[in-house]
């Protein structure tokens, strides 16, 4: 790998972390103070307690380079469990890192240009972006340099160090919204407007105050059109208004969505636009076209002549074609249509997990073929800039490391948060359920049904984004037959796209061990009953909605006694009786 000189700001962060860590270990820094400091530096406690830590590494808008992949492999082998986890926010996480080793991990990451700074805590989190930005046949602008400019501007920003709560920014290059702008504090969607003289101006539509969690809120359009020159001042103005008005007494009602709930949208809108108007007087004014955008350019990819653009986004009617493995992978995992004459392809990472050997192999093929790589919000890896001739080579390389299964936009691509494996707030083993659902779909011959997304969270907080997909589950403790048992709430019909969002509707509660069968029945019924090109949401509404679908699943919401079926009282991956153990929430620290 190619090591770089660690920049001064990163070196200062690491040096300060070392000093604060020594004070904490010596008993000279209170636990609550060190916790806030630690989180702001991307280091998160685990339910195992002690000095086990999760290290979260930002990959702004998902971009990653070969030397960085190799460093991630090194960290996995040297400090963690031999593998890393891609999150739904385009981070990579490593668990069971010893606290005393964190400064060295930070230093090695910084040597390849990676940072954990503000990956956790009440800060501006990783700036997300569509994984196809700059290669998408539908985009109005390439949002990549804009996401980079936003990341650079807000990292270590003085107004972003001790916010009332976390603050999330997301970019999409078109209304398809593959970046999922519609449930973020700031969601930016590239668009255009036509002037009276017929000229077309590219710019953005900025949405604010979206969020998931236990109480989801759809993002709201701040204004009809935001110019390219005004984009960064607009984002900073939203940040400033949130910093000033967020609830600092109750963390459960501290996100920007609650500011809108309290003050009203019109008042929040007026404050943001007023702040932007006078931001010119601030020393941090970021107006005009950012230097990085001028340097890289933001022209859209366009469409290749004679090539039908591949449908993308939630509900994409993917159909497996051919009998050879390459043909099947190509039909599900390849996106065509960019005028640059290239195609993109998705490497499938089951449950978002990537081993150190896979990370090194991904770096090797990225170098060999001269490609761009981005991680996706569905926990996979996108290769971009491919020629048609390179597709078989990429498939061969991915097949050798177990990442060539047709997965993109197919039912087998189940997304899950880490769950009770490591998280203090989770009450169920969401990863175990995801694995079980995947196996059940494979066994039923339904894993390659297209146009259906399944997401799982281990609690109500929606780190697995269960609200925003066709079939969602979130974990909940059930009390039955005088004891505790792992359970899930099933939601149906969540959808993000076309600059709108529908949150999943509650269907019914289920024992954890019945959830895979429920998923099989719903996916199977959808596959059998849907009309040509019909989305899951369209099918659901046509057959009577979530409750009507749930009526055919009522037999699954039944717990046998512990004597009749003891496995119903043991969670996935566990060996002893189920306990809903919830620790202190570092998410709300």
- What is the tens place of the pLDDT at every residue in 113-134? 999 999 999 999 999 999 999 9
Closest CA to 238 of 219, 216, 212, 215: 219
CB 570 within 8 A of CB 577: yes
- What is the tens place of the pLDDT at every residue in 185-236? 999 999 999 999 999 999 999 999 999 999 999 999 999 999 999 999 999 9
Q: Number of structural domains, the chain?
A: 4
**Are both 218 and 246 inside the same structural domain?**
yes
**Are both 170 and 275 inside the same structural domain?**
yes
**Are both 538 and 451 inside the same structural domain?**
yes
Tokens at 100, concatenated: 């005393």
Binned at pLDDT 50, 70 and 90, residue 48 comes out as confident
Q: What CATH number did the domain enclosing 562 receive?
A: 3.30.413.10
Domain ranges, residue 45: 8-110
Query: In the listed set 110, 128, 151, which residue is the last one of a domain according to the structure?
Result: 110
**Are both 92 and 235 inside the same structural domain?**
no
What distance lies between CA 245 and its chain's CA centroid?
A: 27
**Are both 422 and 567 inside the same structural domain?**
yes
Q: Is residue 129 part of a domain?
A: no
**Are both 501 and 424 inside the same structural domain?**
yes
Residue 559, beta-bridge partner list: none
The H or E element spanning position 551 is: helix 546-551
Query: In the listed set 370, 400, 430, which residue is the last one of a domain according to the structure?
Result: 400
CA distance from start to end of the chain: 37
Binned at pLDDT 50, 70 and 90, residue 588 comes out as very low
Residue 472, φ and ψ in degrees, nearest 5: -125, 145
CB 125 within 8 A of CB 118: yes
Query: In the listed set 344, 376, 400, which residue is the last one of a domain according to the structure?
Result: 400
Q: Is residue 132 part of a domain?
A: no
pLDDT number for residue 581: 76
Binned at pLDDT 50, 70 and 90, residue 584 comes out as low
Whether the pTM exceeds 0.75: the reply is yes
Is the dihedral angle over the CA atoms 292, 294, 296, 301 positive or is it negative? positive
Q: What CATH number did the domain enclosing 75 receive?
A: 3.90.480.20
Q: Is residue 309 part of a domain?
A: no
Which of the pair, 229 or 582, is modelled with greater confidence? Answer: 229
**How far are the Cα atoms of 60, 457, 486, 515 from residue 432, in angstroms, in the given order?**
28, 11, 12, 11
- What is the tens place of the pLDDT at every residue in 492-515? 999 999 999 999 999 999 999 999
What is the pLDDT averaged over residues 378-393?
Answer: 97
Looking only at the bridges linking them, the beta strands covering 415-416 and 454-457 are parallel
Binned at pLDDT 50, 70 and 90, residue 421 comes out as confident
* 306 has a pLDDT exceeding 90: no
Q: Is residue 306 part of a domain?
A: no
pLDDT number for residue 589: 38
Q: Is residue 317 part of a domain?
A: no
Burial class of residue 543, CB neighbours in 10 A (0-12, 13-18, 19+):
middle
pLDDT number for residue 575: 87
Is the dihedral angle over the CA atoms 419, 421, 427, 432 positive or is it negative? positive
């Amino acid at each position: 790998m190619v090591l770089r000189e660690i920049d001064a700001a990163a070196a200062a962060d690491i040096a300060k972390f070392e000093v604060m860590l020594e004070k904490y270990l010596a008993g000279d820094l209170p636990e609550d103070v060190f916790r806030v400091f630690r989180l702001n530096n991307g280091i998160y406690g685990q339910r195992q307690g002690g000095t086990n830590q999760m290290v979260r590494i930002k990959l702004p808008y998902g971009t990653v380079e070969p030397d960085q992949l190799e460093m991630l492999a090194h960290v996995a082998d040297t400090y963690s469990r031999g593998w890393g986890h891609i999150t739904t926010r385009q981070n990579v996480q490593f668990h069971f890192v010893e606290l005393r080793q964190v400064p060295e991990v930070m230093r090695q990451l910084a040597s390849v240009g990676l940072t954990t700074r503000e990956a956790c805590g009440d800060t501006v989190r990783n700036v997300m972006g569509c994984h196809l930005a700059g290669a998408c046949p539908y985009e109005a602008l390439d949002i990549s340099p804009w996401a980079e400019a936003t990341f650079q501007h807000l990292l270590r920003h003085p107004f972003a160090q001790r916010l009332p709560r976390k603050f999330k920014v997301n970019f999409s290059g078109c209304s398809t919204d593959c970046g999922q702008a519609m449930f973020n504090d700031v969601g930016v969607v590239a668009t255009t407007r036509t002037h009276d003289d017929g000229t077309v101006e590219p710019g953005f539509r900025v949405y604010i105050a979206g969020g998931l969690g236990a109480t989801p809120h759809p993002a709201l359009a701040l204004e009809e059109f935001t110019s390219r020159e005004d984009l960064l001042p607009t984002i900073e103005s939203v940040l400033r208004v949130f910093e000033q008005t967020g609830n600092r007494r109750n963390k459960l009602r501290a996100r920007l969505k609650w500011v809108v709930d309290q003050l009203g949208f019109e008042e929040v809108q007026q404050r943001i636009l007023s702040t932007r108007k006078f931001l010119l007087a601030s020393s941090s004014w970021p107006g005009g076209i950012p230097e990085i955008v001028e340097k890289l350019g933001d022209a859209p990819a366009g469409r290749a002549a004679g090539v039908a653009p591949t449908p993308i986004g939630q509900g994409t009617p993917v159909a497996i074609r051919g009998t050879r493995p390459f043909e099947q992978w190509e039909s599900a995992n390849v996106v065509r249509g960019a005028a640059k004459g290239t195609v993109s392809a998705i490497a499938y990472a089951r449950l978002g997990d990537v081993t150190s050997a896979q990370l090194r192999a991904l770096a090797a093929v990225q170098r060999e073929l001269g490609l761009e790589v981005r991680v996706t919000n569905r926990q996979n890896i996108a290769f971009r800039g491919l020629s048609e001739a390179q597709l078989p080579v990429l498939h061969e390389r991915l097949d050798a490391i177990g990442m060539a299964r047709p997965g993109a936009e197919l039912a087998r691509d189940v997304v899950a948060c880490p769950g009770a494996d490591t998280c203090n707030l989770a009450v169920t083993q969401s990863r175990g359920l995801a694995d079980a659902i995947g196996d059940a779909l494979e066994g039923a011959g339904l894993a390659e049904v297209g146009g259906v997304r399944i997401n799982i969270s281990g609690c109500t907080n929606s780190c697995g984004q269960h609200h925003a997909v066709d079939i969602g589950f979130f974990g909940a403790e059930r009390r039955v037959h005088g004891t505790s048992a792992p359970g899930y709430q099933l939601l149906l019909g969540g959808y993000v796209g076309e600059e709108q969002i529908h949150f999943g509707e509650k269907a019914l509660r289920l024992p954890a061990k019945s959830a895979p069968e429920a998923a099989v029945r719903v996916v199977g019924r959808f596959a059998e009953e849907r009309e040509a090109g019909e989305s899951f949401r369209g099918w659901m509404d046509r057959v009577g909605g979530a409750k009507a679908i749930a009526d055919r699943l009522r037999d699954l919401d039944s717990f046998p006694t512990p004597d009749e079926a003891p496995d119903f009282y043991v969670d996935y991956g566990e060996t002893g009786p189920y306990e809903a153990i919830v620790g202190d929430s570092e998410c709300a620290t």
